[in-house]
Structure 1
Amino acid sequence: MTYQTINLEIADRVATLTLNRPQAMNSMDTLMMSELADCFESLTSNNDVQVLVIKGNGRAFSAGGDIKMMLQSNEVTDFNVLMEEVTRLILAYYQLPIITIAQVHGAAAGLGFSLALASDIVIAEETSKLAMNFIGIGLVPDGGGHFFMKERLGVPKAKQVIWEGKLMNGQEAYALGLVDQVVPADNAELVVNQFARKLLSSPISAMIETKQLYHQQKIDELIEVLKLEADAQLRMRKTEDHLEGIQAFVEKRKPEFKGR
């Protein structure tokens, strides 16, 4: 299958998926979301793949949802389509019978960070810039961000990190437990390749069974969280704070929120 916004290469039981909108720091528009969902769904039945590596082309993993797209899709219908694609790609990714590795360099923010956290293993360069930064534009995390943050941090700490929306480097994210391994700048690809080879020399079928056992217990919860996130996003998009957050982002200034 040929894609416009992502590249997929398969060799020796490893699939490498590259987010490929480098001019936009691999921010996700509707097309990329749809192509990611299609790709994950196709990999579900590919028995030749046991490891999937996700990385970004250019200087970032993914800056998150495309802000320009958000400005253009104000209609409820457009927004619902968008959230349907987010739900489809996250559910397909979470249920993959494959060990998934996020290879993070540069920015991994918003929806991009949710996708990274949905991976079984997150390997980030120490100079990475990671943030669950929806709060900066008056929104709540989507892409299962609430679910994956809770899985890694527990509810109390997850709330604090989401509310703060802090930009973290690789070491800071590792200290919190959001990243599984930190590597020097420009070394992520080498380390990820070595890690993938180690997995493939292990009884990986048994490892995948363990993943499936845990994930199958959690799938109903993830589905519910994705629905609640979509409902919350729709409500938040109508607030004055969100409009101010977007305007401030476009004008490159500090927003003045009023809690409305």
Structure 2
Amino acid sequence: MPADAPTILATSGGVVPAPRLRWGAGPLTDYAVELSGVSGRAPKVCFLGTACGDSPALIKEFYDAAQAAGYEPSHLQLFTMPNVDDMRELLLGQDVIWVFGGSVAGLLAMWQLHGVDELMREAWQAGVVLTGVSAGSICWHVGGTTDSFGPDLRPITNGLALVPYSNGVHYDSEEQRRPLFQSLIADGTLPTGYATDDGVGVHYRGTEFVETLTERKGKAAYLVERGPDGGAVETRLETRLLG
């Protein structure tokens, strides 16, 4: 049962502490499932840990979290080779695709190499809800800021551009994120963008912004635009608390 329009929930969250588990699916991830419109059966959620090199431990942790959340889990791994013969069948058969954080530059390179970038676009157009955290948030946008190349953040500008915005993640918790994101928008390296504090997500329907949501009280999202004087203008957005 696909969503009734192409849907993205791009987040700096969706993962929370959980009893007896390394981590669990948080309210943002549950909301992505809700956006898929599934009812009467377990939602099909496919996990991609490409940005972490398809760590076997991370994949196992996802299955543990998915079982606890009542999802029907699957995963797509690309290291050291794809784990399925038909990646298109796997991805388009999901209700939700959940992309984890890590190296967004590495993720985009591997996706392009294996054709996953085009499969993601096809899945999005077919109504499979796309969600993820950090690298799994930036990837849907034109670009953002990344530590893929080292501890000093750099711009990334070759995102899938399913939505025509840039994306700033971990806006409140990593000190380089906010000033670099603003300067990249001010100088035209990145287009207008949406930034999220930890625990916050941005919902898009098609290519249009819908709203911002948070699983942590007091956290927010921001619209960052190039100002008339060539600087950056940041606007704090009303953010709806989940759960």
TM-score normalised to the size of structure 1? 0.32
Which has more radius of gyration? 1
| Structure having the larger proportion of residues in strand | 2
| Structure having the larger proportion of residues in helix | 1
TM-score normalised to the size of structure 2? 0.34
The structure with higher relative contact order (CA 8 Å, sep 6+) is 2
